[in-house]
Amino acid sequence: MSTPHINAEKGDFAKTVLMPGDPLRAKYIAENFLTDVRQVNEVRAMFGYTGKYKDKPVSVMASGMGMPSMGIYSYELYHFFDVDNIIRIGTAGAVSDRLALRDVVIAMSCATNSNFAAQYRLPGTFAPTADYGLIKLAEEKLKAIGKNVHIGTVFCSDTFYDDADSLKQWQKLGVLAIEMESVALYLNAARAGKKALCICTVSDCPLRNEECTAQERQTTFNDMIRTALECAADIESSFD
């Protein structure tokens, strides 16, 4: 069953989908980490692929930038293509002084300036959170390869270029990092009764004017890709 944004059929996606923001990053993952790969989506150049990692089925598809784009694609994957788990893999800017370049952040929960949750007409404020099982699995995988892992709250922003210098205010509340997709993913997962996780590598520290080189981004992103793939393979093995 194709949708306006995904030209695929049920069964084209694995139960677990990795979602980088960049379509070319999805293509890179498919070509360099998966076997028996086939392309399952190319609508609006939002590339999606399904293949195998360690003989286990796994899919990778781009989410685009920001919550509206992530909201569309994660909703359709959960509701129309029988996807159970989505793992966002991306980059984030450090907010906490405890974070350094190339550290990995697991978003346990999300603060936001978005109005995404208003659609549910809740009589209060919902706290978007990741699936604990996925958090624990990713933490184990990352520590096994010696990555410096931080688990906690991220700030998911609707704006990239922000007139207000708000990061220091979020820092006071213990926020680890800033990114732009986790809230839409976590809310869609909660509403669908599915699972989600956001893993981000620190690519810059805006409060300290530090940033990774292009080569450093590539190397550290590969560690995160392998971690997410290992998680996906373990999830699939649990069904054997």
Q: Annotated catalytic sites, by residue?
A: 204
Cβ burial of 125 (10 Å; 0-12, 13-18, 19+) is exposed
Q: At what angle do helices 23-33 and 214-237 cross, to 10 degrees?
A: 60
DSSP element (H, E) containing 18 = strand 16-19
Q: Cβ(88)–Cβ(13) under 8 Å?
A: no
Q: What are phi and psi of 48, to 5 degrees?
A: -130, 140
Closest CA to 212 of 103, 105, 98: 103
Q: Cβ(57)–Cβ(35) under 8 Å?
A: no
* Lookup result for tokens 């990114």: 179
Closest CA to 132 of 107, 112, 150, 105: 107
Cβ burial of 30 (10 Å; 0-12, 13-18, 19+) is buried
